[in-house]
A and B are shown apart, each in its own frame.
Chain A
């Protein structure tokens, strides 16, 4: 019985949601563009004489992501040219980072992050038939869009690990609000590499199969499982690039790579190198929002919630923030016990209000109105009322002289006395009655 384990590494591309492209001021909105080739300029169209100027925000967001993934940020880095020919690559080279990326040596969970770097996206090719001829149509709206590339070490051993890592990564990216990280829209793209290794071996296998064209989260597990199955046959264990085929649910061979392509990397002469001082990186780091795991842990500790509820609350940053807003606006006058953080959490998780339209204050009101009233006897209520009338003589005087708000004050005192129990309507009636005496 051959026990083989999968060795999986991931290469992930994330399209940053900056306003403009990576090296020019063209609009960064390829997915929603109404027509092809409407967001181009001399730079991203690869015209003669076009020169790249890096987008500051894109660089900062890339570094932020590196920091969120616990990477080391390079004090010196640069851009490089990766030279190859393809019709969707207008300059005949891609500006990327080769040997001095912004971030390296990170970790997310148990997975080591090899590097996080910045590069530009290519245009888009669509296949069509025009005048009877099979052609490729090219749209450069996407050319030059900022892409962050994340490469992990081949540390994954199960498909579940990959799935949960991707979900976690997507969550972090959305917390940073730097990208929609949406696989269906192309703002997050995945290229896993898989090989098989006999259990017990420690060396990495001498081949990898790269898989392209996984354009939805729901295909990730399927693809990997299908590929692992396919590689059970030893004849299939060779270096290759394959593409996921939706129809068959398996992978098809694109090209068997004996030799890696020669990209002739060299430093990009049109862009001066970059230096990041510790102070600057520190400042950027301080702008990192509290990340999901840290927030979850804090919720458990501070609000006495359980793991499961916390995980649900921190699913998105907006949801978690809403939760804490609710807690903030919950009035504390003797009613804290009535609406606990736990209660708010339960309500939020189960009711799932539309947090866009329902204000936290309104949501709290909803909860408060639905809370069941603890019954009290009229003697108990009257007893509390009389105790308050005895001690708060000035307010009583004020009320008897016509000041309505004195009544609210006295009501509050009575509720306090009764520790929040009792039907408010009944209490007010009895209070008025007693005050008339």
Chain B
């Protein structure tokens, strides 16, 4: 029985090829800290993934509606009522924070002020 032998065939590329520089840009956008050593490894991993994704470009998708919801539900709302059963006390809200001060969460100062 042993191993299963599924393999994805690679075809002419329609998809992006990632360089470590690309990886750095995405990592910044996603706020993921990566070391220069990790960048190459990640780029390789992305390229392997994108080979699989490449299959999708064999398909003509013109005139097809995208699906973001499979439930078929519409108009799901809640009434405008205060729900005391779910509101946290200040203590509960802060209970897992590494740093708090007088009831506030704390972060090092943000330079960009809105």
The short answer to whether A and B are in direct contact, CB under 8 Å, is: yes
Q: Name the contact of A134 in the complex, choosing from B76, B80, B108 (C-beta under 8 A).
A: B108
User: What chain B residues lie within 8 Å of A59 (beta carbons)?
Assistant: 77
Contact A136 B108 (CB under 8 A): yes
For B104, the closest partner residue in chain A by CB is A137
Segment at the B interface, from A221-229, A232-240, A270-278, A355-363 = A270-278
> For chain B residues 70-114, which have a beta carbon within 8 Å of chain A?
71, 73-83, 86-90, 93-94, 101-110, 112-114
Chain A interface extent, by class:
35 or more
Encode A252-289 as 1/0 by CB contact (under 8 A) with B.
00110000001000110101111100000000000000
* A contact residues around B77 at 8 Å (CB): 53-56, 59
> Does B12 lie at the interface of the complex (its beta carbon under 8 Å from any beta carbon of A)?
no
User: Chain B contact residues: over half helix, strand or loop, or mixed?
Assistant: loop
A127 at the interface (CB under 8 A from B): yes
Give CA–CA (A40, B86) in the complex, Å.
8
Task: Report if B4 contacts A (CB, 8 A).
Answer: no
The yes or no answer to B7 lying at the interface (CB within 8 A) is no
In the complex the two chains form, what is the Cα distance from A130 to B93 in whole Å? 20
- Select the residue from B69, B76, B93, B109 with max chain A CB neighbours within 10 A: B93
With A41-B88, A58-B80, A137-B101 in contact, is A254–B108 under 8 Å at CB? no
Q: In A123-182, which residues have CB < 8 Å from any B CB?
A: 125-128, 130, 133-140
- Report the count of interface residues on B (CB-CB < 8 A): 36
List the A residue with the shortest CB-CB distance to B80: A57
Q: Which residues of B contact A87 (CB under 8 A)?
A: 105, 107, 110
Q: A127 contacts B109, CB within 8 Å? A: yes
Closest to B72 in A: A272
Residue of B nearest to A139 (CB): B104
Closest to B29 in A: A262
Question: Whole-angstrom distance from the CB of A268 to the nearest CB of chain B?
Answer: 8
A-B contact pairs, 15 of them (CB 8 A): A19-B82, A36-B103, A37-B90, A37-B93, A37-B105, A45-B93, A54-B77, A87-B105, A87-B110, A125-B110, A135-B108, A135-B109, A136-B109, A267-B69, A272-B74
